[in-house]
Amino acid sequence: MSPLITVPELESKLDDPNLLLVDCRFDLAKPDWGSSEYAQGHIDGAIYAHLNDELSSPVSSQTGRHPLPSAATFTATLQRWGLDENTRVVAYDQGNGAFAARLWWLLRAVGFEAVQVLDGGLAAWKSAGLPLTTATRERKASSLPARDFRDWLSTEQLEQALAACTITLVDARSPERFLGQQEPIDPVAGHVPGALNHPLTDNLQADGRFLPAETLRERWRRTLGGQAPQTLVSMCGSGITACHNLLALEVAGLPGGRLYAGSWSEWIRDPKRPVATGNSDQAAAFTHNA
């Protein structure tokens, strides 16, 4: 199954009883925006998933801004949604997939493979002239066993892997944030020493859809610099847009990357951890737009 689904493909499957359509719209600066927009109109049959409340766990003094939910809590969410072994999930957000990719990764990380992201999101759906609804549907709860998340690194594991030079750490934030030229969200600017920069925007066309697989493959091979995709660890500000890069790698046919779940906002919790700015470490500011 392709990790992406197009608007026409989704439209043709809306009557599939096994389809679970999840609206993941969110705004980091306005946490209630997505749920408000959902209430005003969404794709027929969609439920809403709140990034902070359902796709993350509460923040603590040691975590980043969007810690992974616990296995038990995430399983309870999936049960409430009615997900079972026959379910096919499609996630969408307002446009480029930055938030929908979080749900895609979470489901993949607990072993659920039948999940796709709507390419271009709700913006593409509306551009096609397709309708929205304010109606909601009740879903019958399901029973699922709890599964631990796989394919992610803690900060301790990341520090060990960096010291052993066994990973390729790639940061999905904008070049300005990566280089430490601006930091609108976190209290410290810069990046993890040794990281490379591959902004999520480098995965996208101007309309918010993903670039063709061949183009993505070329760009990601350039980022990897000859390293296997299985060495890649993806990070960002809080572990959200890092999932977008992992999704792009899947589209490109280069699977196997892992997530640094805590990302920059967790890395800087300890002032003893090193911080780099500018081009102070090898290849730090690599982007395709340079």
The pLDDT tens digits for 251-287 are 999 999 999 999 999 999 999 999 999 975 544 333 3
Q: Give me the percent of the chain exceeding a pLDDT of 90.
A: 95
pLDDT of residue 288: 33
CA–CA separation, 35 vs 37, rounded Å? 5
CB 241 within 8 A of CB 173: yes
Q: Cβ distance 25 to 36 under 8 Å? A: no
Q: What average pLDDT score do residues 60-75 get?
A: 97
Predicted model pTM: 0.95
Q: Which two tokens stand for residue 73?
A: 């809590």
Q: 3-class secondary structure for 32-91?
A: CHHHHHHHHCECCCCEECCCCCCCCCCCCCCCCCCCCCCHHHHHHHHHHHCCCCCCEEEE
201: DSSP letter: G
Residues tagged active-site: 236
What pLDDT, on a 0 to 100 scale, did the predictor assign at position 279? 76
Amino acid (one-letter) located at 93: D
Contact predicate 285/175, CB 8 Å: yes
Helix intervals (H) in the chain? 7-11, 33-40, 71-81, 100-109, 121-127, 155-164, 175-178, 213-224, 242-251, 263-267
Q: What is the mean pLDDT of the chain?
A: 95
How confident is the model over 243-248, as a mean pLDDT? 98
Burial class (CB in 10 A: 0-12, 13-18, 19+), 136: middle
φ/ψ of residue 143, rounded to 5: -125, 120
Contact 58, 67 (CB under 8 A): yes
Instruction: List, for residues 193-215, the tens digit of each pLDDT value.
Output: 999 999 999 999 999 999 999 99
